[in-house]
Structure 1
Amino acid sequence: MSDSEPELPGGCGGAYGVEEPQPQAQWKRYGDSRRRANAAYEEREKGLSCRRSCRKRVVLSEETFRRWKRVKENEFDDSTNDEFASSLLDSFLTASTSSATTTSRSRPSAEIPSNSAYVAEMKKLRMQPCSSSTPHHGTDVHYDSSEDVISAPSEVGSSSSCISGIQRVDISEDTWKDNELDISVSYRHGEIAEQEDDDSEFDDDDELDDPDYDPDITIHTGPLPTELDTVGEEEMVMGELPPEAPNEPCGLSTRSGMHCIASPEEAADARLCIASHSALKSLCREARGMCRQCGKMTDINLASSGTSVHVTWVCPDGHSSSWCAQETLRRSHVGDMKLASAVVMTGNNFSKISLLARFMSLNMISNPSFHAYQRKYVAPTVEAKWSEMQDEIWSRHRESPVVVCGDGRNDSPGFCARYLTYILMDHESKDVLDVQIVEKRETANSPAMELVGLKRALNRVEEAGITVEELVTDAHPSIGRFMREKKGTIRHSWDVWHAGKNLGKKVVKAAGKVSTKPLLYWVRHIVFHFWWCAQTCGRSGRSFIAKWRGLTHHVTDKHEWVAGLDGDVIKCAHDELPEREEWLAKGSLAHQALVAVCYDRRFLNNKDRFLTFRHTSTIESLNNHILMYASKRFSFGYRAFKARNYMAVIDYQAHKDRPNKTDEEGNPKHLVRWSKHAGQYVTVGVKVAKTYPYIRQMMTDIFKRRAEDVLPLFSPVELDEHDPRHIRPRLAQLPLPSVNEILERRKSRFSV
């Protein structure tokens, strides 16, 4: 299985499979037209979304709803619920206004009848709809200051109101309090409402600036309802209550109304869950079981789309409406992009995640979609994050010379590796200074990749203004020659970890015979003694040799001896030791084999490489950590492999200074584990849990890149500067044959 992108002829990345990338000018023209269309569309949707948010729902009790249905079926069977409600309101206004007109002629203008009089008068009249052809939605009595009359509001677009010719009524302040009346001011005229219905913009600032302008006044009769929200003084009331804010606000909707458009920040913070189709279908039936246009039962259809699902309601009359279970950003589901990003940033393998989703019957994105998201948005975001972190690290190490450690890691065991990851790390702070990815096509063979990686990393660090005074590597011959000839001013030391490891292998090989088998017991002690000599020699070669040669005396239970021509007496630095059976006999075959290893000429000639006691064990631990993000059992494309290595380094850099967990008394916690290498139980410190502080910002940057991308998702992208496909399209040096040619020359020993 592979997570890599298909390598196409001509160096073209992506999913098109063409010889050369399409001209960028064509995509630019396409992107310009798309931007203009999207701008006009989003402007229209903004107005529609604003008006949709102002809609209100009325909740009725079961008894009230039955009475409503019964009256509607008897009197207004052919009308809709909206028309029926408008007729009831018109009748109420007719009765209320008529009662107000009669009373105003027989009583003083300062007296207003109580609300009960309005209700009694309304009951005497027969409920009839307004004579207007289109039922209006007014609910109040309006006062027009320009004509000094009170009238019921007319329907938008109609030429006459239902009631007119009522004289002006003067009401005192005490009357408002005694009769519990309410008054509000509306600054919106019929002309403005007509423009709003035509989906055009309007601006009423000119009317507000007019000194002769008198606003419309709306009188509400009856006691004020207690359930209404309180409107603060700082809120502007434009003739209607402000819409209720949704629980989770989202951006604009698409033209069809199916998808909700989210911003990059909203997309990064969006929480996702797993829901079954049956439960989701039941919820949709409860939320919208009846058609909003004809009131008939609807059929609910669910269609999977990536990690999301599309819900469609269809009634027998053909009315339909749709809804998407996820927000979108540039026509990409938020869940799709989050899944593709998380696969890379957690070091998972898409093939295995896709198989897991298949076994769970879980919605999943396609393989081309994953690689498109990885190639265009995830990988560039990871590279930008590492570049930002690297600049911060470089700024901390420019002040003083540094000692750097370097080591390479192949992507597969053996001498046939495709990639090599070379890491330079500061020896003191353990900060990663640079990471270089080398591909086999850039060198003659796999073993030569390590020197190329070192050259690149060392040049980048020096170009960043960091002074390197010492370089610590393993005993690679080509690296040693390069440092002698090209970097003579930098001290080149060898890693004592690798040296001790190789020393142990030599001792094990020397103990391979039956006569030298007692030497096996001393392998671990010999390696520890080598570390002790390098650490305590004080950078003195003479002291190192004296301590190292004392090992041949110590293993024979002799802890004091004469060294050199001067006759100096040297003693072991340890305390009194107990008797043991593992002491070697002086002059035995096992002792002679050990003396041969300790007095090896090449080892002693290179003693100066170990005098500073430097090691790259932290890099070895980091190389093991990279396996979590880029396993050696899977192959990756160049861009994907580099992004996964960068993610491993970002993870290491963000959590390398984590403290150990402590118990109630403040002592560090430890775990006991069996070490296969040491052959005994060892203790391991327990670190505090990782926090991954960089994930939130990286997710937001990925969505921002998608929002700013004007090209289609599957459009070709430019190759990276160091992409090996610039050298040749494929790893193999031979041209690609056809399938038929391969089948013709293939012969099986099992064929007859």
Structure 2
Amino acid sequence: MIDAATQTDSDTSDAAVQWPADVHRVVTMDHVYTHTQELHGQEEEDTRSLYLFPSDDEFSEDSQPQHNYPDPEYHDDVKELQNEGSQLTLELTCANGCSYRWQSQPTLSGTKGEGNLLLAASVFFSGIHFAKFKRFCNNMNLQTICEDTYTRLRKTFVFPVVEKTWAKEQSAVLTDMKSREEEVVLCGDGRCDSPGHSAKYCTYTFLDVQSQKVVDFKVVSCTQVSSSNTMEIRGFKEALTTIEGNGVKVSTISTDRHPQIVKEMRVSNPEKCHEFDPWHVAKGVSKKLAAAAKRRECEGLGEWIPSIINHFWWSAQTCGGDAEVLKEKWVSVIHHVTNRHDWPGNRHYHCCAHEPLDETSQRSKLWLQPGSEGHQALVKTVKDKRLVKDLGHLTKCIHTSLEVYHSMYLKYLPKRTHFGYDVMIHASMLAALDHNNNANRGQAVYQDGESVGEPKFKISWSKVHKRFRARPVAVQKDYGYMKAMVADVLSSVSDSNQGVDMRETQTHIMAPQDRLPRSQIIVQTQQFSRFK
């Protein structure tokens, strides 16, 4: 990939030296590689330094200078210049006295080598922690950029492209929501960066139920609120304000049973329908029953938990929007588990909806005895006052599906790993872009073989259901948008994009007061150290 701009010839030209036709040697990139090895004083079996070559097209024969040498054993004089990250720069001098400079990558302003910028963008876009990537490169002796260079390139060139791409995607989602005639239904949930009550960040996300795409998210730092317990409600308020500020009329919101959000919806948004996510409620019921089933006197209750949770989902899905019907169907499970399938006293639901059971057939689990410890624990859980009260918020059975999104979110922002505020924001944008560009994927089918055209399933053992289950396999994700982002990063260099300095905007987020001089902080730390 040597062009006219990087090649410098001496006064002696090739035409001035005439060698016999039968005595010649062609200088190719193989010689450059060989002499690079000799330059470091390494034997063939030793570990060599590897460099990144962005494209094989850069090494066409036309770009390599060729000279005739009188001595077949002659070697070029190769001098390795100061290299920058993954870029290799060599200065070569041939027998004719021609000297030229060869670089493994095109040089870009502010990045030294194009490969350095490609590395920074690709590592961040792929959700790879740079420390792991650096260790990978060190293990195979692959020359790469340092962490400071990665941070600078990411902030200067990568972050602005992520912001631009997410703004375009969010605008398209909001435009689609505003153009609908039917009511807009949102589901929201918060995700903290660490378990317990010591979280530093909380990311609250709103997802459009119809399109299953992320509409907006807010990253809240613990220093922005009075305590970590109030981060979720702040993220909820800010995200909802942004969505409605863009002209979207929200009619229904589905969340978990967070007390502060329940109060906010009741006081500030009484015109909106507030639904609870059945998944969160079912998870809470399952935990209570599992805890009770561990007691010896409640033996037999554990086998019924999967069926009880299935009954809860069925009750929410078939209640027809009537809270009283939902309550009667849900409470009926305390009769079914005792082999009682009809009961008086209800207004709507008087008997089980299943077909009559064959009493002679062998059952996989035993009936519970009425009044037993296990049955009483079930009755206590099913008739819990808060649970029965919350059934009125489950009549539409709006499942948020945000736990699936949060699982994918860990790819870009794993828990128990500290990230700065700017990384939290831009990595959250990447997670939202990943989700939106691959939402509503269909099921994959076999392309060849005996099963061609048939849908794909993955057979796995379920510890919950105690049996093998067939899970549909979705089609592979499309990351074409990510290649476009990489191209935008490269083009931003030619546009002299210097990025956005976020240091000033983070001051009030990372710390509630201005930072003191470095020397003063060190003195104070040593002065109040408990180890002195």
Range into which the TM-score falls when normalised by the shorter chain: 0.7 to 0.9
Q: CA deviation at 1:491?
A: 0.7
1:418 paired residue number? 200
Q: Is 1:629 matched up with 2:408?
A: no
Deviates more, 1:543-552 or 1:347-356: 543-552
Q: CA deviation at 1:597?
A: 1.6
Q: CA deviation at 1:512?
A: 3.5
Match of 2:482 among 680, 688, 695: 695
Match of 2:397 among 613, 622, 630: 613
Correspondence 1:412-491 to 2 at 5 A: 412-491=194-273
Please give the alpha-carbon distance, in whole angstroms, between the structure 2 residues aligned to 1:447 and 1:310.
54
Correspondence 1:88-99 to 2 at 5 A: none
Match of 2:471 among 673, 679, 684: 684
Q: Is 1:390 matched up with 2:157?
A: no
**Quick one: which amino acid aligns to residue 647 of structure 1?**
L
Q: Is 1:381 matched up with 2:164?
A: no
Alignment deviations for residues 679-717 of structure 1 (CA, whole Å, 9 cap, x no partner)? 433222222222311123211221222222276xxxx95
Match of 2:331 among 524, 549, 556: 549
Match of 2:130 among 317, 342, 350: 350
Q: CA deviation at 1:436?
A: 1.4
Q: CA deviation at 1:604?
A: 1.4
Distance 1:288 1:498, change over 3 A: farther
1:265 paired residue number? none
1:667 paired residue number? 454
Contact 1:285 / 1:300 at 8 angstroms: preserved in 2?
Answer: no
Q: CA deviation at 1:745?
A: 5.3
Contact 1:469 / 1:491 at 8 angstroms: preserved in 2?
Answer: yes
Q: Is 1:644 matched up with 2:431?
A: no
Q: CA deviation at 1:674?
A: 2.5
**Quick one: which amino acid aligns to residue 493 of structure 2?**
R
Please give the alpha-carbon distance, in whole angstroms, between the structure 2 residues aligned to 1:650 and 1:681.
34
**Quick one: which amino acid aligns to residue 550 of structure 1?**
S
Alignment deviations for residues 57-83 of structure 1 (CA, whole Å, 9 cap, x no partner)? 88x9986467x9xxxxxxxxxxxxxxx
**Quick one: which amino acid aligns to residue 198 of structure 2?**
C
Please give the alpha-carbon distance, in whole angstroms, between the structure 2 residues aligned to 1:466 and 1:517.
52
**Quick one: which amino acid aligns to residue 300 of structure 1?**
V
1:511 paired residue number? 293
Please give the alpha-carbon distance, in whole angstroms, between the structure 1 residues aligned to 2:157 and 2:298.
61
Distance 1:47 1:463, change over 3 A: same
Q: CA deviation at 1:340?
A: 0.1
Please give the alpha-carbon distance, in whole angstroms, between the structure 1 residues aligned to 2:87 and 2:4.
27
Please give the alpha-carbon distance, in whole angstroms, between the structure 2 residues aligned to 1:496 and 1:505.
14
Please give the alpha-carbon distance, in whole angstroms, between the structure 2 residues aligned to 1:739 and 1:539.
63
Correspondence 1:504-543 to 2 at 5 A: 504-543=286-325
Give the secondary-structure state (helix, strand or coil) at the position aligned to 1:532. helix
The TM-score, its normalising length taken from structure 1, stands at: 0.58
Please give the alpha-carbon distance, in whole angstroms, between the structure 2 residues aligned to 1:575 and 1:734.
74
Contact 2:223 / 2:511 at 8 angstroms: preserved in 1?
Answer: no
1:585 paired residue number? 369
Q: Is 1:570 matched up with 2:350?
A: yes
Please give the alpha-carbon distance, in whole angstroms, between the structure 2 residues aligned to 1:705 and 1:441.
34
Please give the alpha-carbon distance, in whole angstroms, between the structure 2 residues aligned to 1:732 and 1:416.
23
**Quick one: which amino acid aligns to residue 657 of structure 1?**
N
Distance 1:380 1:677, change over 3 A: farther
Please give the alpha-carbon distance, in whole angstroms, between the structure 2 residues aligned to 1:573 and 1:542.
17
Structure 1: unaligned runs, 5 residues or longer:
1-45, 69-269
**Quick one: which amino acid aligns to residue 312 of structure 1?**
E
2:36 paired residue number? none
Please give the alpha-carbon distance, in whole angstroms, between the structure 1 residues aligned to 2:141 and 2:8.
40
Q: Is 1:302 matched up with 2:62?
A: no
Match of 1:364 among 144, 153, 156: 144
Q: CA deviation at 1:574?
A: 1.0
Q: CA deviation at 1:298?
A: 4.0
Alignment deviations for residues 402-440 of structure 1 (CA, whole Å, 9 cap, x no partner)? 110000111112211111111111112212111211111
- Pick the structure with greater CA Rg: 1
1:330 paired residue number? 109
Give the secondary-structure state (helix, strand or coil) at the position aligned to 1:308. coil
Distance 1:50 1:735, change over 3 A: closer
Deviates more, 1:350-359 or 1:676-685: 676-685
Contact 2:221 / 2:509 at 8 angstroms: preserved in 1?
Answer: no
Contact 2:8 / 2:100 at 8 angstroms: preserved in 1?
Answer: no
Please give the alpha-carbon distance, in whole angstroms, between the structure 2 residues aligned to 1:48 and 1:717.
32
Please give the alpha-carbon distance, in whole angstroms, between the structure 2 residues aligned to 1:542 and 1:660.
37
Contact 1:305 / 1:363 at 8 angstroms: preserved in 2?
Answer: no
Contact 1:404 / 1:424 at 8 angstroms: preserved in 2?
Answer: yes
Give the secondary-structure state (helix, strand or coil) at the position aligned to 2:418. coil
Contact 1:438 / 1:452 at 8 angstroms: preserved in 2?
Answer: yes
Distance 1:677 1:380, change over 3 A: farther
Alignment deviations for residues 102-153 of structure 1 (CA, whole Å, 9 cap, x no partner)? xxxxxxxxxxxxxxxxxxxxxxxxxxxxxxxxxxxxxxxxxxxxxxxxxxxx
Give the secondary-structure state (helix, strand or coil) at the position aligned to 1:682. strand
**How many residue pairs align between the two structures?**
480
Q: CA deviation at 1:443?
A: 1.0
Give the secondary-structure state (helix, strand or coil) at the position aligned to 2:219. strand
**Quick one: which amino acid aligns to residue 719 of structure 1?**
M
Please give the alpha-carbon distance, in whole angstroms, between the structure 2 residues aligned to 1:288 and 1:629.
51
Q: Percent identity?
A: 29
Please give the alpha-carbon distance, in whole angstroms, between the structure 2 residues aligned to 1:507 and 1:732.
50
Q: CA deviation at 1:734?
A: 10
2:32 paired residue number? none
Contact 1:662 / 1:668 at 8 angstroms: preserved in 2?
Answer: yes
1:594 paired residue number? 378
Match of 1:558 among 308, 319, 340: 340
Alignment deviations for residues 34-89 of structure 1 (CA, whole Å, 9 cap, x no partner)? xxxxxxxxxxxx9989999xxx988x9986467x9xxxxxxxxxxxxxxxxxxxxx
**Quick one: which amino acid aligns to residue 694 of structure 1?**
Y
**Quick one: which amino acid aligns to residue 242 of structure 2?**
R
Distance 1:735 1:562, change over 3 A: farther
Q: Is 1:655 matched up with 2:438?
A: yes
**Quick one: which amino acid aligns to residue 362 of structure 1?**
L
Give the secondary-structure state (helix, strand or coil) at the position aligned to 1:415. coil
Contact 1:541 / 1:607 at 8 angstroms: preserved in 2?
Answer: yes
Correspondence 1:206-245 to 2 at 5 A: none
2:496 paired residue number? 709
**Quick one: which amino acid aligns to residue 284 of structure 2?**
N
Distance 1:732 1:543, change over 3 A: farther
Q: CA deviation at 1:718?
A: 2.8
Distance 1:446 1:285, change over 3 A: same
**Quick one: which amino acid aligns to residue 481 of structure 2?**
Y
